[in-house]
Amino acid sequence: MEHRMSYIYGSAAPKLPQRPERQEARQPEKSRPKSSRAAVPAYAHVPKARLFFCVVALALMGFVVLYRFSVLADLNSAMNRMNEEYNALRNENRLLKVEIETSIDLDKVKQVAETEMGMHKPDRFQIIPVSVPKNDYNVVLDQQYIDQATKNNQKPFLKGMLDAIQAAFP
């Protein structure tokens, strides 16, 4: 045994024979009595400030979505009220047009024109027939719009641009 413990200098040390490793037969451990400690859950490692921030951010996003839907519902109800009002006014306008068309008496109009306004029928020499082809005529829709458009053409270019921008973004 002393031979094993002695120190050998250099690389000429004798090689030890290799022994196969022992495979220890593991014997099943006898059941040990379990400790009476309760299982402790592992710590989540999430700082409380981050968790609080996430909860607040999630709540804010929920409120933003709810606010958006409430605004949309409010606008939708306002639009429905305006559509109902528009339909009622349109029906009233139609009824008034029918009433006006049925209540006009041409003989009464002629009498008012001749007596109160001093109008009379033109003589034969005052009537000049004019032939206008059907495909060559103009219809004036809104005289106020035409006046405004011609007035805008007389403005300087920069003033016209500024007016256009102001009209686009009220």
pLDDT digits (tens, 9 = 90+) for 16-61: 777 766 655 555 556 666 666 776 666 656 688 888 999 999 999 9
Which of the two residues, 97 and 163, has the higher pLDDT score? 97
What pTM did the predictor assign? 0.35
3-class secondary structure, 26: coil
DSSP assignment letter at 6: S
Cα distance between residue 170 and residue 160, in whole Å: 16
Q: How many residues are listed for the chain in this entry? A: 170
Nearest to 151 by CA among 161, 160, 142, 138: 160
Q: What angle do CA 25, 31, 37 make, to 5 degrees?
A: 130
Cα distance between residue 87 and residue 93, in whole Å: 10
Contact yes or no for 142/150 (Cβ under 8 A): no
Taking only the tens place, the pLDDT of each residue in 67-87 is: 999 999 999 999 999 999 999
Indicate whether 136 pLDDT > 90: no
Give percent of the chain with pLDDT exceeding 70. 67
